[in-house]
Amino acid sequence: MKRRVHSEEVTKAAIQKLKDRGVTILDIAEIVFELQSPYSQNLTLDECVDSVENVLLKREIQHAILVGVELDTLAEQGKLSEPLQSIVETDESLFGIDETIALGASLGYGSIAVTNYGHLDSEKIGIIKNLDTKMGEKVHTFLDDLIGAIAASAASRLAHRIRDYEDELTTAFFKENEKMIK
């Protein structure tokens, strides 16, 4: 019988996969801070952690982590069929599926997330640089891009929330403008 997987189980599994691969929420939050601090002088690392945690609650992000890390792990173990094994193991530059999954995961956070992801993919900031498969012995073909997508999404989420705060825009807007929106 097929089993419905509870959201909490998926969330825990995705976060555990990151942890197992040596990535912490703080590692990602530091990238978010580097991306967003030039635009918000009062930004704190705690706010970045909170944003990363909220991004990690999204199913699209969780599923991308589970699929990507699984493929990286299987490649490390030599368990993929050829030519996929060699392509993933070497992070073949024309492969692109790793970036496609990461980019797809970041689309839920708009154009800021997409442009931030592109920046992180080329610049390899923070732990992303340490995870680059071409630089180490482990296979992180998917993980480095996924971390970029999570950080990019968290930074975009923060950018929008900071602007809403500055403009004092809250859900009270809908109550105050009920006639306009009906």
The mean per-residue pLDDT over the stretch 112-117 comes to: 96
| pTM recorded for the entire structure | 0.92
Q: How many CA atoms lie within 13 A of 65 on its CB side?
A: 25
pLDDT at 150 over 70: yes
Q: What are phi and psi of 82, to 5 degrees?
A: -80, 150
Structure tokens at 51: 């944003």
Is-contact 103 12, C-beta < 8 A? no
pLDDT in tens, 159-181: 999 888 888 877 777 777 776 66
Those residues with Cβ within 8 angstroms of residue 58's Cβ, 6 or more apart along the chain or in another chain: 108, 153
Where is average pLDDT lowest: 79-83, 110-114, 170-174?
170-174
Residue 65 predicted with pLDDT over 70: yes
Q: Average pLDDT in the 65-70 region?
A: 98
* CATH code assigned to 7-174: 1.10.3760.10
Model confidence over 123-145: pLDDT tens digits?
Answer: 999 999 999 766 667 999 999 99
